[in-house]
């Protein structure tokens, strides 16, 4: 199936870039990307899904090819609001969702706010429980939270996280040794080049700091699981160091019917 590459203006002067494929008459499946990626991470998945679905994969502001005005404030509330405006611009009122990493706090905000109805959710290392944390990976990020966004903590995190080595590790940690040779460097190299553009490291640091707002919303996300009865499939890389596998298993507290599949790989399971 042919993938098209389009942009559409939405509220607040944002121009959202997105990839699309599939028959417009088919059920809609929206792909929510994570850090440090963009819709580019779904470039191989989109044609496979497009045989049965209308597939839409947007870039958030600060990622990929979406552009935002200089005064855009990079928070997860803002990313969710822009994504809602994007879906409204495409006249999408309900869809299924594939969510990954940052896609969880974006998509679950929309669901809890009633701004979109999800028919089904595929959660791939998309955390919604405190049990998903638990690795030293989070230490410098949580130090930034605890410092109140202190300049010295921002600098330390910039030095540690906005590097090609960190991006590569984020992709390949937890991948079995025999599979590394099949792991293309395209994704993490592309992500790093985009994240290195002037001003973009600060965007990522702003979002690292704002991530502290997401755990506070986990009870609301969990209530959504209970009340909506949305079809829920969790497919996680069990060796992920960003969101550990107990975060997937924790969903059983609120949705014992959820299907959970743990794969022998890391964060970027695709």
Residues forming the active site:
267
Tokens 């611009």: give the residue: 89
31 vs 54: CA distance, rounded Å: 11
Phi-psi sector, 174: left (phi>0), alpha (psi -120 to 50), beta: left
Burial 11-23 (b: 16+ CB within 10 A, else e): eeebebbbbbbbe
Spatial neighbors of 177 by CB under 8 A, at least 6 apart, are: none
Q: Are 111 and 42 contacting, i.e. CB atoms less than 8 angstroms apart? A: no
- Rounded to 10 degrees, what is the CA torsion of 260, 77, 44, 244? -40
Strand partners, 235: 261
Whether the bond between 239 and the residue before it is cis, its omega within 30 degrees of 0, is no
């Amino acid at each position: 199936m042919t993938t098209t590459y389009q942009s559409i203006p939405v509220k607040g002067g944002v121009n959202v870039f997105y990839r699309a494929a599939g028959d417009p008459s088919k059920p809609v499946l929206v792909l929510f990307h994570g850090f440090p990626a963009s819709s580019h991470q779904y470039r191989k998945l989109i044609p496979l899904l497009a045989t049965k679905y209308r597939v839409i994969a947007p870039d958030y502001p600060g990622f990929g090819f979406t552009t935002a005005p200089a005064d855009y404030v990079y928070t997860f509330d803002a990313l969710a609001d822009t994504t809602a405006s994007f879906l409204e611009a495409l006249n999408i009122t309900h869809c299924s969702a594939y969510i990954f990493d940052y896609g969880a706090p974006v998509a679950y905000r929309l669901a809890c706010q009633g701004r979109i109805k999800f028919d089904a959710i595929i959660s791939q290392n998309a955390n919604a429980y405190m049990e998903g944390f638990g690795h030293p990976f989070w230490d410098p990020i949580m130090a930034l939270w605890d410092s109140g966004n202190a300049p010295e903590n921002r600098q330390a995190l910039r030095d540690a996280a906005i590097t090609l080595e960190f991006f590569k590790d984020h992709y390949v940690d937890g991948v079995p040794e025999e599979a590394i040779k099949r792991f293309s460097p395209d994704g993490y190299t592309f992500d790093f080049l985009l994240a290195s553009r002037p001003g973009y490291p600060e965007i990522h640091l702003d979002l690292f700091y704002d991530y502290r707002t997401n755990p506070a919303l986990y009870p609301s996300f969990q209530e959504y699981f209970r009340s909506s009865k949305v079809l829920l499939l969790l497919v996680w890389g069990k060796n992920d160091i960003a969101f550990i596998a107990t975060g997937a298993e924790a969903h059983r507290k609120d949705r014992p019917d959820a299907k959970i599949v743990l794969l022998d790989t890391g964060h970027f399971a695709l």
